[in-house]
């Protein structure tokens, strides 16, 4: 009987080992990668060119490539960069997926044709001043993006993109820990902040930093949510912990509206 018992538990032991291995190796939960493209514009003419390219060429090409949810945003009218920036958010299932998409676009004849005025613009009629690319990896406790749903018009919705820069690598890691193990994201979730993503920047111009996007039906809703967050007892306790002091050296807050052709 003893021999039979030892044999019967062997499959269970192997399964437990395999699950543990997957969890520790990061294979149990694949973490998204995100790219944020920032188009810097000189005026209305370039804005129209970028809009036309994104709406009629770039987004349709990404959709054909299997990327169904692409966000396109512009600063709210009160922002001094209104009319001078366009933000494009693209999700990827893996780093390999991100690396391959450019080859897919180059081979997409329809994309090359529909985007020719933008892609093949002459040197003296450039469609944008410069373009920045930021690559991010989703946090462990928020491995995949979540799309918000609102009944309000796109022009009224507020998409708040935040960037928190750390003074040093180790202090930055502490802020990342604060979001994950510390429970900061759980507070946001409990208050229905409708976060699209939380992620660490793995390649960008202001590293080390993290970025996340929360969404609201309108600016009044945004104010009410942040008031509730600041007064939440769990946040007061968490923000008062010594280990999380001085973990952010600079924060950048952008208020954005989705374009009428954005997927969300």
Structure tokens at 11: 């499959």
Nearest residue to 40 via CA among 114, 113, 133, 122: 133
Domains in the chain: how many in total? 2
Q: How far is CA 182 from CA 53, 185, 234, 236, 242, in A?
A: 42, 8, 10, 12, 12
Residue where a domain terminates, one of 138, 153, 175: 138
Residue where a domain terminates, one of 118, 138, 158: 138
d(CA 91, CA 137): 10
pTM: 0.88
Q: What is the pLDDT of residue 135?
A: 98
Asked if pLDDT for residue 178 goes beyond 50, the answer is yes
Residue 176: inside a domain: yes
Kindly report, residue by residue over 227-236, the tens digit of the pLDDT: 999 999 999 9
Residue 17: inside a domain: no
For the chain, what's the residue count? 264
Residue 97: inside a domain: yes
219 prior amide bond cis, ω within 30: no
Q: Are residues 195 and 175 in the same domain?
A: yes
Q: Are residues 88 and 124 in the same domain?
A: yes
Q: Confidence class of residue 11 from pLDDT cuts 50, 70 and 90?
A: very low
Q: Confidence class of residue 12 from pLDDT cuts 50, 70 and 90?
A: very low
Q: Are residues 41 and 96 in the same domain?
A: yes
Domain span at residue 48 reads 30-138
Structure tokens at 48: 């129209």
Kindly report, residue by residue over 93-142, the tens digit of the pLDDT: 999 999 999 999 999 999 999 999 999 999 999 999 999 999 999 999 99
Residue 160: inside a domain: yes
What CATH number has the domain bearing residue 219?
3.30.70.100
* SS3 label, residue 160: strand
Looking up tokens 């993006």 gives 145
Residue where a domain terminates, one of 76, 109, 138: 138
Residue 123: inside a domain: yes
Looking up tokens 């208020």 gives 255
């Amino acid at each position: 009987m003893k021999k039979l018992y030892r044999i019967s538990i062997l499959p269970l032991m192997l399964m437990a080992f395999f699950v543990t291995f997957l969890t520790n190796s990061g294979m149990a939960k694949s973490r998204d990668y995100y790219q944020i493209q920032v188009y810097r514009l000189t005026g209305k003419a370039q804005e129209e060119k970028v809009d036309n390219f994104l709406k009629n060429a770039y987004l349709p090409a990404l959709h054909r490539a299997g990327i169904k949810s692409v966000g396109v945003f512009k600063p709210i009218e009160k922002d001094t960069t209104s009319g001078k920036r366009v933000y494009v958010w693209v999700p990827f299932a893996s780093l390999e997926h991100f690396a391959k998409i450019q080859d897919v676009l180059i081979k997409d004849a329809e994309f090359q044709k529909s985007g020719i005025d933008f892609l093949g613009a002459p040197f003296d009629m450039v469609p944008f001043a410069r373009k920045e690319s930021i690559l991010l990896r989703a946090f462990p406790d928020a491995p995949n993006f979540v799309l918000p749903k609102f009944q309000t018009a796109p022009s009224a919705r507020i998409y708040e993109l935040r960037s928190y820069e750390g003074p040093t690598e180790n202090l930055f890691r502490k802020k990342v820990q604060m979001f994950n193990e510390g429970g900061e994201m759980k507070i946001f979730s409990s208050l229905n902040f409708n976060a699209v993503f939380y992620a660490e920047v793995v390649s960008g111009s202001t590293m080390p930093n993290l970025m996340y996007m929360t969404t609201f039906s309108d600016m009044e809703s945004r104010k009410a949510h942040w008031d509730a967050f600041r007064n939440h007892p769990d946040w007061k306790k968490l923000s008062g912990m010594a280990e999380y002091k001085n973990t952010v050296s600079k924060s950048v807050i952008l208020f954005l509206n989705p374009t009428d052709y954005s997927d969300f």
